[in-house]
């Protein structure tokens, strides 16, 4: 425990006394007492506190289990110990306590087999990662806030972009552009998380990139680097930034509207995140950025077409096979001709406007639905059953003759009004594919209904 406290504190460069106390679930006075002890005092204290444990005779085997798999819980280790050595002359509670204490004193961290991502080179890496904060009160409603954090690794300068809806590829591209404009230039590479917005597949570290994101990154002029999905340490700077945004920037806040949340983030970045002395560099991020990083950043170039997707421009949405698209947890209809296609969507003060992406023509307008799970439809977007029935009746009348065909159609509508369209389709197929005898049977049925 003492050595763990010393390592976490790292002579003032690591965690604070309060953070250590919270992490280890001990009092701050205890943390201060152990930090004040010299190496000789620690050795004497540990020798005085040392007591004989009944599991000491099995220490070598326990250490072997923990080194083989550091994730083993004390309960699992105890079960394996009993399987190997039978009943133990110790209570389960004492055994679990001793195993947990042993886990704290044995070095169990496995070696990483991943090469570290290029680090601490001014103007080169910018680490990027996303976060989500649920239950944020905005306009009195619990809202999920999605955000992306950008950290220039050398200076630790941070930028945050937030979205009221799940982030898609277009939004991620806009956020990158906004981040580079805010920090005053473009780094050489972005170290992104394993997300399908950036990486589609990664067989043997051969990256298949999201084509849209890769194209815009190449146009803007920065390289894409993606850490392995199981290796978050390769972008630890931004991982810490995500926690800071959640717990320092947004937790415990409430906002009257979305614009107020955005307005809150900028002063928090300038006055807190980018104004504190960073433990590793020993400098304020904003000052270090101006001194060491800015000279190595390149002018940012906004990819063509990105301006059209910002502000009041339409966002892209996929229409499903039923002719519906999703917007803010509700669904809205489009004409059947646009089923399974992509359309542009713009939210104005009153209606939800849906555009054809190719021509820009407005194909639908809907009132904005409140709540979640609503389906907003225009009836003319669906197939008109009356038109289909009229077409079938015209075909039957042509085949059987006007009066006879009309009599048969009226009979079907009177006897089976809920399925008359299906009945008419059946008659059409019979007239198309059956022999002359079928025609005579239909004529008889129309003249002499039972």
CATH class assigned to 125-296: alpha beta
**Confidence category of residue 57, pLDDT binned at 50, 70, 90:** confident
> Is 0.85 topped by the overall pTM?
no
Rounded to an integer, the average pLDDT of 240-261 is 89
Q: Give the best-scoring range by mean pLDDT among 50-64, 319-333, 375-389.
A: 319-333
Mean pLDDT of the chain: 78
Cα-Cα-Cα-Cα torsion 142, 148, 153, 155, nearest 10 degrees, comes to: -60
Rounded to an integer, the average pLDDT of 246-258 is 89
Tell me the two tokens of residue 57.
Answer: 């005779």
* Strand ranges in 311-442 using DSSP code E only, listed in sequence order: 315-318, 324-327, 330-333, 342-347, 351-356, 362-367, 375-376
- Whether residue 397 is predicted with pLDDT greater than 70 in this model: the reply is yes
- Whether residue 312 is predicted with pLDDT greater than 60 in this model: the reply is no
- Give the Cβ contact number of residue 119 at 10 Å: 15
Angle, in degrees to the nearest 10, between helices 92-105 and 59-68: 60
Identify whether the C-beta of residue 400 lies closer than 8 Å to the C-beta of residue 446.
yes
User: Which SS3 state, helix, strand or coil, does residue 223 take?
Assistant: strand
Q: What is the pLDDT of residue 360?
A: 65
Map tokens 């083989």 to a residue.
Answer: 68
Residue 98 belongs to what H/E stretch?
A: helix 92-105
Tens-digit pLDDT profile for residues 276-301:
998 888 899 999 999 988 998 887 66
Q: Give the best-scoring range by mean pLDDT among 49-53, 129-133, 207-211, 383-387.
A: 129-133
User: Range(s) for CATH 3.30.420.10 in the chain?
Assistant: 125-296
Tell me the two tokens of residue 445.
Answer: 């049925």
**Rounded to whole angstroms, how far apart are CA atoms 162 and 43?**
50
Q: What is the pLDDT of residue 399?
A: 76
- Whether residue 109 is predicted with pLDDT greater than 50 in this model: the reply is no
Range name among 57-61, 267-271, 313-317 with the lowest pLDDT average: 313-317
């Amino acid at each position: 425990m003492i050595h763990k406290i010393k390592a976490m504190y790292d002579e003032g460069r690591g965690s604070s006394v309060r953070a250590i106390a919270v992490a280890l679930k001990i009092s701050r006075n205890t943390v201060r007492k152990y930090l004040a002890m010299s190496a000789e005092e620690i050795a004497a204290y540990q020798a005085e506190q040392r007591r004989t444990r009944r599991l000491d005779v099995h220490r070598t085997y326990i250490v072997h289990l923990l080194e083989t798999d550091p994730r083993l819980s004390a309960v699992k280790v105890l079960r394996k110990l009993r399987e190997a050595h039978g009943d133990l002359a110790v209570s389960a509670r004492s055994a679990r306590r001793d195993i947990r204490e042993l886990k704290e004193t044995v070095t169990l961290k496995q070696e990483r087999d991943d090469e570290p991502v290029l680090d601490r080179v001014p103007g080169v890496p910018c680490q990027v990662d996303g976060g989500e904060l649920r239950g944020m009160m905005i306009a009195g409603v619990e809202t999920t806030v999605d955000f992306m954090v950008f950290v220039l690794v050398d200076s630790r300068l941070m930028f945050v972009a937030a979205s009221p809806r799940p982030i898609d590829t277009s939004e991620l591209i806009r956020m990158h552009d906004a981040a580079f404009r805010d920090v005053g230039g473009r780094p050489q590479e972005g170290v992104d998380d394993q997300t399908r917005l950036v990486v589609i597949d990664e067989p043997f570290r051969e990256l298949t990139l999201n084509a849209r994101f890769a194209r815009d990154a190449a146009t803007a002029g920065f390289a894409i680097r993606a850490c392995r999905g199981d290796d978050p340490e390769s972008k630890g700077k931004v991982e810490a930034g995500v926690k800071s945004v959640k717990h320092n920037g947004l937790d415990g806040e409430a906002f009257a509207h979305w614009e107020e949340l955005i307005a809150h983030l900028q002063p928090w970045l300038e006055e807190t995140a980018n104004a504190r002395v960073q433990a590793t560099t020993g400098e304020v991020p904003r000052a270090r950025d101006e001194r060491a990083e800015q000279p190595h950043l390149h002018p940012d170039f906004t990819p063509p077409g990105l301006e059209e997707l910002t502000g009041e421009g339409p966002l892209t949405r996929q229409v499903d096979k039923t002719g519906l698209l999703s917007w803010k947890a509700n669904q809205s209809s489009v004409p059947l001709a646009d089923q399974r296609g992509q359309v542009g969507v713009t939210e104005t003060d009153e209606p939800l406007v849906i555009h054809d992406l190719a021509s820009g023509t407005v194909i639908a307008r809907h009132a904005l639905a409140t709540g979640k799970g609503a389906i907003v439809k225009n009836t003319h977007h669906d197939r008109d059953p009356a038109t289909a029935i009229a077409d079938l009746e015209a075909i039957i009348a042509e085949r059987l003759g006007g009066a006879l065909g009309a009599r048969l159609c009226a009979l079907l509508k009177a006897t089976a009004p809920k399925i008359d369209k299906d009945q008419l389709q059946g008659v059409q197929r019979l007239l198309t594919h059956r022999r002359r005898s079928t025609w005579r049977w239909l004529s008889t049925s129309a003249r002499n209904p039972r």
